[in-house]
Amino acid sequence: MTTWPMTTTQPSPFVAASPEDLEPAFAAAVAAGDLDAIVGLYAADAVVSLPRGREAAGHPAIREAFAAALAAGVLHESGACGEDASSVPAVSVRALVTGDLAMTTSSRADGSVCTQVARRGADGGWLWVRDGSRLRDADACLPSASRGLVVA
């Protein structure tokens, strides 16, 4: 199991010019272990699906979920989760855009697909607002009862 070092620098000034730009930015942030950059790809009101039907809502809960994934070594540059996922690179990234919303998908050689919803902000940049698949199978991301985060 590979663990990635985490950094806690200030969020980068990266602005996704298109929804398709989010996936490669995510891969670069994971490769760098840059937790701020990962969280910075999500809107402040974003929701990320976790295992067992749970959800991380908002930046604090999303930060904790991704920090746990990085620390446990279950998040890989490919964006896939799991101990065997490090060798499963994204082979295609697509977006279906309608107005200021887009559904983004990334497919992998093993047939797995990650799906997110992105929203265009007032600055014209794109951020994910819903991530239904990236951490869904990563039990390490579940919060402990003692931390009091907003998790449904």
Which one is predicted more confidently, 135 or 85?
135
| Side-chain-facing half-sphere of 8: CA atoms under 13 Å | 4
In this predicted structure, what is the pLDDT of residue 67?
Answer: 92
Q: Can you tell me the mean pLDDT for 99-107?
A: 91
Q: What is the pTM of this model?
A: 0.79
In this predicted structure, what is the pLDDT of residue 113?
Answer: 82
pLDDT at position 20 over 90: yes
pLDDT at position 96 over 70: yes
Question: Residue 64: which residues within 8 A CB-CB, separation 6 or more?
Answer: 56, 143, 147, 149
In this predicted structure, what is the pLDDT of residue 135?
Answer: 84
Question: Residue 73: which residues within 8 A CB-CB, separation 6 or more?
Answer: 1, 2, 3, 4, 83
To the nearest 10°, report the CA torsion of 49, 53, 57, 60: -80
Copy the structure tokens of residue 75. Answer: 């998040």
Q: Could you identify the residue written with the tokens 């809960």?
A: 61
DSSP structural state of residue 12: P
Q: Can you tell me the mean pLDDT for 87-111?
A: 81
In this predicted structure, what is the pLDDT of residue 132?
Answer: 86
In this predicted structure, what is the pLDDT of residue 73?
Answer: 84
Which one is predicted more confidently, 72 or 118?
118
DSSP structural state of residue 138: -
